[in-house]
Chains A and B, each alone.
Chain A
Amino acid sequence: MKYVVLLMADGAVPEWSGMTQEEQAAVMGRFEAFDDACREREGVQILAGEALGAGDTAIVVRTRDGQRTITDGPFAEAVEQLGGFYLLEAPDVDVVLELLEQLPPYDLQISPVVDPM
């Protein structure tokens, strides 16, 4: 199965800019540990994963009655917080939950990807 993992909010992680270099390195180390854990786990693969720009860099596109408008907001609530995402292949949700323990303690949302079959 495929899962999208959204990094929704800092949760228990201090703000990035407020951290010392060592603390930042420790956080980055946990991302690497997550990558390694996924690589070593059978049936698991990170298909994609990116960090996203801050909320004020996002663009909103809406089409109403054929009219396309492009604006700087209003954003869905999540965009202020959404920090990044992974697209994972994994056998089941418990494997995903277990591997995600490697990441810094962000608030996460796990959504299964709909299987077109």
Chain B
Amino acid sequence: MFLIELIASSLRMAVPIILTAIGAVYTERAGVVNIGLEGMMIVGSFWGALGSYYFGPYVGFLFAMAAGAFLALIHAIATVTFRVDQIVSGVALNILAYGSSRFLSQAFFKMATTTPHVNGLFKLKIPLLGETSPVIILALILVPVAGYILEKTVFGLRLRSVGENPLAADTLGINVFKMKYAGVIISGVLAGLAGAYLALEHTGMYVEGMTQGKGYIALAAMIFGNWTPKGALWASLLFGFAESLSFRVVQNAVIPYQFIKMIPYVLTLAVLAGVVRKSTPPAADGVPYERGTK
């Protein structure tokens, strides 16, 4: 029973990482590094809570995905059209997400760091897992769907070709810029969804800092999963497991809880230090594409 409960809780913890990591696969396969995923998750959690507070959970999720997509659009304009440094743009977006959420939270709710309680979606009753958010099921469905789209469809092939060799793709008549925009925006939508899950399904409100670096951890999960949705799923589950295990250990309080809180971050470092050399990113990942240059 304890084991089943642990697995269920790992899955619940892993969902935001899974969703964001799938998004990260899309954007990186299109050749754009998106470190702004953390910020897109933040705006997702805030706008999700805002939408749900005023119009109910469905609108909340819509708002969250739109907010994530909006930040992603800025990232795409900056990095694809203007070819600025992708890391710098991502960092700026994370600051923008943090600042704008505080600003709006103050303006709407007169509190900078939290919103009132908000409603989540209906719950599914699933044997063993108990009451389950439909977003969990959605995340699990999205993994094979993303795998199929990337590997088997024309869109996926084009997206990947742009990340591997944009010049060749351009020569074949593929609209490189459109593909890159698509990859980045999909990642923003998924990160926004992940943020809304945190606020609406997991906590029931928006709290500042509730993403706790999960956007970055999702990037690590994607790398650990070798830039594939399926790989990212297993890596995300590992991180979810570490987090849910840490809650169990806290209850026993053998180790100071501050050290338990470090586990996901230390695990990320360890995973990257041990594994990253074996995996291969898309050949043109992080390199802006400019027409007319070799």
Partners in one complex: no
